[in-house]
């Protein structure tokens, strides 16, 4: 509690003690009778019929009005003077009670009350405060149809809460002046909320404001996925309310071609998925809330849709492949096989790049899959679409040629017998022998043997004829 407030509280306590002491004293003799205001003709011969007492009934600090009350001789006049703006007179009623209100300037003051009948005077100390108006902050929950109030005021003051003029509850400030109150089950529409502060026996200021309980849906989450080509919305709305969606082209349609609608659950939550319009970038959706046929309000939801990934594959003169395209700035493009396995460089690092205005990867053809590579886009770690890129064909590698100087050579041969042999390599063994062709040698050997026998027979016949010729001669 602040020091000025502690002082004020102490002064009030002293004033209360003083008033109590006066009230409990049966007779207090006036010591300064001339302090009483001018009054009607004296009636000192009148016999007192009631004790003379004075107390503070209330202090309206804002207006500076102090209301006093007490008892005195029936019909006797009571004069009020001292630190007041103007002296005041009143009379005790038939039951011996009286009351009067006087204007008092702010600060610590003393009011003198005098009985005309007994000439008794009682001094009443009061402290009229410079009050700051109470403070009030409101948290409006249109979905839950409630208003939570948090305020400040005079320490230990009592607050009466009103809604559109009707008292709906009461609460007390603590020793530091803090207070709170929650209004529940409110109807949709405007509510004039008042918090009236009471202490020192009367209304001492208050706070008020007008709040609107709107049933319009609240959109708490918005996401857009190029992976699913859907916009996801989620939030809160009055339980059982119906939500409808529209954009620049009109009502958003569901998969069945009808306007998309969702219903808020009993815990006031809801969610919906909308198709991403073609070429959408900054997408605006209007969410309209209905309670039956009654429109409760509208809410605008704005979603940034990531750019769709584009790309091409081009073979360069050196045989490498250039993969390039466009996507969401700040995203990452990584290469995968069609089965989802990351494509890695020769040193085992995943092939990936960050998207600026565009993206590009130049990759040796040998490290890429045979036919297709998948370029996958991720934005803030979330997958946002992929592309299948057809790759140029792998180069055809010729069969290895034999080294003529390494071991036996291969030749087709020039011998007439070789030309008649079946196709196949002919291994050259020696220059003086026919090369083996791989055919069955039985037939050639038989023919060669017959020719040899025939030749030998001819030779023997020739020798025999020569010998006969010699004898004849």
| Extents of the domains making up the chain | 3-128, 135-213, 218-304, 312-390
- Rounded Cα distance, 141 and 457, in Å: 132
Average pLDDT score over residue span 344-359: 94
Helix (H) or strand (E) holding 12: helix 3-24
Asked, colleague to colleague, whether 3-128 and 218-304 share their fold, the answer is yes
Tell me which residue has tokens 């009670």.
97
DSSP-derived letter for residue 137 is E
Superfamily of domain 135-213: Immunoglobulins (2.60.40.10)
Confidence tier at 278 by pLDDT (50, 70, 90): confident
Q: In the numeric block, which tokens belong to residue 64?
A: 């500076």
In angstroms, the Cα distances linking 200 to 17, 85, 130 are 14, 20, 14
pLDDT of 406 reads: 45
Q: Each residue of 131-158: pLDDT tens digit?
A: 999 999 999 999 999 999 999 999 999 9
Average pLDDT score over residue span 392-419: 50
Q: Which fold has domain 312-390?
A: Immunoglobulin-like (2.60.40)
* DSSP bridge partners of 144: none
- Rounded Cα distance, 132 and 193, in Å: 19
Termini Cα distance of the chain: 173
Confidence tier at 428 by pLDDT (50, 70, 90): very low
pLDDT of 3 reads: 41
* CATH for 3-128 (1.10.150.130, 2.40.50.100, 3.40.50.10090, 2.60.40.10): 2.60.40.10
- Rounded Cα distance, 15 and 109, in Å: 10
* CATH for 218-304 (3.40.50.150, 2.60.40.10, 1.10.10.10, 1.10.10.1100): 2.60.40.10
Burial class for 41, CB neighbours closer than 10 Å (0-12, 13-18, 19+)? exposed
- With 80 as the cut, is the pLDDT of residue 117 above it? yes
- Rounded Cα distance, 462 and 455, in Å: 11
Average pLDDT score over residue span 179-193: 96
Within 8 A by CB and 6+ apart from 456, the residues are none
Region of poorest pLDDT, from 79-83, 236-240, 396-400, 437-441: 437-441
């Amino acid at each position: 509690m602040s020091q000025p407030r502690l002082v004020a509280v102490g002064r009030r306590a002293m004033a209360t003690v003083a008033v109590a002491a006066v009230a409990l004293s049966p007779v207090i003799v006036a010591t300064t009778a001339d302090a009483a205001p001018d009054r009607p003709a004296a009636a000192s011969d009148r016999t007192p019929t009631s004790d003379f007492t004075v107390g503070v009934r209330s202090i309206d600090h804002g207006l500076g009005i102090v209301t006093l009350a007490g008892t005195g001789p029936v019909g006797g006049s009571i004069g009020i003077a001292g630190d007041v703006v103007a002296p005041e007179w009143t009379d005790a009623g038939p039951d011996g009670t009286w009351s009067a209100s006087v204007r008092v300037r702010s600060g610590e003051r003393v009011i003198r009350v005098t009985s005309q009948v007994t000439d008794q005077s009682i001094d009443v100390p009061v402290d009229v405060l410079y009050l700051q108006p109470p403070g009030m902050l409101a948290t409006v929950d249109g979905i839950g149809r409630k208003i939570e109030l948090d305020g400040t005021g005079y320490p230990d003051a009592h607050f009466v809460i009103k809604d559109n003029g009707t008292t709906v509850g009461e609460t007390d400030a603590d020793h530091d002046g803090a207070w709170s109150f929650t209004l529940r089950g409110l109807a949709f529409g405007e509510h004039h909320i008042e918090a009236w502060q009471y202490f020192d026996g009367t209304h001492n200021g208050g706070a008020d404001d007008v709040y609107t309980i709107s049933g319009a849906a609240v959109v708490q989450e918005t996401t857009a996925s190029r992976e699913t080509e859907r916009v996801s919305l989620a939030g809160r709305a009055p339980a059982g309310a119906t939500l409808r969606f529209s954009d620049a082209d009109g009502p958003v349609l569901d998969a069945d071609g009808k306007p998309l609608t969702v219903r808020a659950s009993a815990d006031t939550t809801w969610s919906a998925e909308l198709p991403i319009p073609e070429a959408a970038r900054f997408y605006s959706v209007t969410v309209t809330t209905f309670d039956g046929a009654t429109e409760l309000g509208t809410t605008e939801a704005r979603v940034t849709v990531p750019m769709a990934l584009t790309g091409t594959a081009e073979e360069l003169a050196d045989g490498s492949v250039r993969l390039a395209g466009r996507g969401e700035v700040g995203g990452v493009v990584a290469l995968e096989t069609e089965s989802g396995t990351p494509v890695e460089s020769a040193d085992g690092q995943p092939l990936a790049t960050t998207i600026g205005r565009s993206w590009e990867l130049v990759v040796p053809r040998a490290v890429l899959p045979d036919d297709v590579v998948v370029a996958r886009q991720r934005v803030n770690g979330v997958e946002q679409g992929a592309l299948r890129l057809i790759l140029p064909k792998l180069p055809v590698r010729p069969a290895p040629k034999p080294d003529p100087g390494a071991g036996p050579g291969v030749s087709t041969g020039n011998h007439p017998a070789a030309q008649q042999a079946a196709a196949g390599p002919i291994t050259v063994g020696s220059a003086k022998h026919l090369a083996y062709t791989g055919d069955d040698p039985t037939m050639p050997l038989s023919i060669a043997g017959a020719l040899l026998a025939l030749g030998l027979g001819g030779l023997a016949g020739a020798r025999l004829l020569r010998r006969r010729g010699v004898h004849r001669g």
